[in-house]
Structure 1
Amino acid sequence: MSIIVCPGIHDRTFTQSFISGLFDGSIGQNQANILVFPGKDFLNLSALHILEFLRDRLNNSFQSPLIFISFSAGVVGAIGAAHLWQHLGGRVKAFIAIDGWGVPLQGNFPIHRMSHDYFTHWSSSLLGSGQNNFYADPAVDHMSIWRSPETVQGWWVDSSIGIFPPKGHLSAAAFLRMLLERYEAN
């Protein structure tokens, strides 16, 4: 399994911090092939650039199922790349959008949204959300959920039944690890 991380438009050290906060030793980074799209500035919006990166890093092999983790502006390019990957015969195990506010998300693969506050969670879900989502509570600034997911607390919610009952208060990193462990097992 490969994990493709598609950052937004921000300092690259925030993405390094995100990966460190996510993989704190509880999930082996060795078990998954983690690929970080190195796009700069507006290339993160380009599905074609992300697809080209994937094809290069995976040697045009569509055998490895992918999990997309994308943030902010990177959600725009990543959702397009996920659809293109599938169109070319690849498999998308899951798509995780972190603060992809205003980006419509649909696909025939599992989709999860994570938001830095309840308003972003609620308003983004109007554009598609899937099941098992997360929002920070108390609310944090936009960059905190990416830069320090291990420190951001919030609620895991399941919108698959049309209501948003709290399932449990946990960190954003714990929520992400839970999803990754679930998809590693399947």
Structure 2
Amino acid sequence: MFIGFSAGVAGAIGAAWGWQWWGGKVKALIALDGWGVPLVGNFPIHRVSHDYFTHWSSALLGAGEDSFYAEPGVEHLDLWRSPHTASGWHLTAGSSHSPIRTTAARFIMTFVQCGE
């Protein structure tokens, strides 16, 4: 599993591609506020955004599977420092289910705990 924050998302996705190329299995990539980073891979990708605009505009470069955005929005660094205080919405791509109210920390733990 790979987790990247901000510009580090570019390195995390590159490392995930490299890991696969060398025969490793990537369980998932969690991209925290990787605005402007194309999110493409043949492994699960989950996006976390500090506000709706970042969520929406980041999806243009790869929506991923499940995603989260803070609402109300929080400061970029606060998402990293205090994900438990960032309340918002968990969305599942291609699903007709309603968004789920949660925190960024709970969203991330969903994938870390189950090892997806």
- State the TM-score bracket (shorter-chain normalisation): over 0.9
Measured in 2, the distance between the counterparts of 1:72 and 1:129 equals 16
- After TM superposition, the score normalised by the length of structure 2 is 0.94
Deviation at 1:167, TM superposition (A): 2.2
Aligned partner letter, 1:105: L
Which residue of structure 2 lines up, in the alignment, with residue 174 of structure 1?
106
Measured in 1, the distance between the counterparts of 2:18 and 2:103 equals 32
- What does 1:21-170 correspond to in 2, within 5 Å? 67-161=1-95, 166-170=98-102
- Taking a change above 3 Å as real, the CA distance of residues 131 and 111 of structure 1, as seen in their structure-2 partners, is same
Aligned partner letter, 1:89: G
Measured in 1, the distance between the counterparts of 2:50 and 2:66 equals 15
Measured in 2, the distance between the counterparts of 1:78 and 1:130 equals 15
Structure 2 residues without counterparts, runs of 5 or longer: none
Partner-residue secondary structure (3-state), 1:150: helix
Deviating runs (4+, > 4 A) in structure 1? none
Measured in 2, the distance between the counterparts of 1:141 and 1:167 equals 22
Aligned partner letter, 2:109: R
Partner-residue secondary structure (3-state), 2:55: helix
Q: Is the 8 A contact 1:155 1:166 kept in 2?
A: no
Deviation at 1:180, TM superposition (A): 1.4
Structure 1 residues without counterparts, runs of 5 or longer: 1-66
Identity of aligned residues (%): 57
Measured in 1, the distance between the counterparts of 2:43 and 2:94 equals 14
| Greater Rg by CA | 1
Measured in 2, the distance between the counterparts of 1:81 and 1:168 equals 30
Measured in 1, the distance between the counterparts of 2:7 and 2:64 equals 19
CA-based RMSD of the aligned residues comes to: 1.4
Deviation at 1:166, TM superposition (A): 4.0
